[in-house]
Amino acid sequence: MPKTTEKKEEVIEVDKQELAESPKWEIAASDIDIPRFNIRQKSSEYDSGEFGDLVIDKSHVVVKEADTAEVIVISAVKAWREKIPYEMDIRGRIARTEEERAALASDSEYEVREFADITMLIPQHDGGDEDAFQFPIGDKMYAMGKLDVQNVSYRNTYKRLCTFAKFNPKEPLTKKTWTFKTEFASRGKTEWYNASLTIAKGEAPEAVVDFIENFTS
């Protein structure tokens, strides 16, 4: 008569307290991979868009040159960077604080200038590539990206945001909508487009305000 083999199953009981104390998946804003916005210039080394278009990830058009878009600003961070001649094809060193700026200015052979990274949400609209709008918030799709602004673009975006915030301390920037557009400029034979933000009349949707609060907390 064949022998029967009994299988013993080991049951491991996990204490409920142990489960409760297990580490949670915490995600900070700095952990999110935020794409880059760029304004297509004549010197841009990518194929997407036309001269003056706002492009995301150098791949998809978000705002056409002749159009405007209502945007919500998530954050605007000021810093300083060495102004290195374009033909050298290298990025200047960056300072994030006044102390770092002073140290960089004393060490560098180049001028050190202000710039800002402005992170924005742009709702899907006619004129933009559908694939540019990857983030669902509420009942709309949004493009989220970070725009590097300097010189005239810095003055026409970051400084306008700061001016509004100073005169309206009880109005959070994240609850307002702003009108974004690119503006043509030239000097001699050189032509380019700058970024511009102006305050709009609308308010950010509640779903967007909630998203930003969670995103930045």
At residue 17 the predicted structure's pLDDT band, cuts being 50, 70 and 90, is low
pLDDT in tens, 63-97: 999 999 999 999 999 999 999 987 888 889 999 99
The reply to whether 20 falls in a domain is: no
The reply to whether 19 falls in a domain is: no
The reply to whether 201 falls in a domain is: yes
Domain coverage including residue 143:
34-216
How far is it, in rounded angstroms, from Cα 149 to Cα 181? 13
And the tokens for 76?
């605007």
Give me the pLDDT at residue 36, please: 97
At residue 4 the predicted structure's pLDDT band, cuts being 50, 70 and 90, is low
Mean residue pLDDT across the chain: 90
Whether the per-residue pLDDT at 190 is higher than 70: the answer is: yes
The reply to whether 87 falls in a domain is: yes
The reply to whether 5 falls in a domain is: no
The reply to whether 132 falls in a domain is: yes
Question: How many structural domains are present in the chain?
Answer: 1
Contact at 8 Å (CB) between 63 and 122?
A: yes
Mean pLDDT (whole number) for 111-137: 96
Phi, psi of 173 (to 5 degrees): -60, -30
Whether the per-residue pLDDT at 2 is higher than 90: the answer is: no
The reply to whether 23 falls in a domain is: no
The reply to whether 43 falls in a domain is: yes
HSE-CB for 126 with a 13 A CA cutoff:
1
How far is it, in rounded angstroms, from Cα 205 to Cα 202? 9
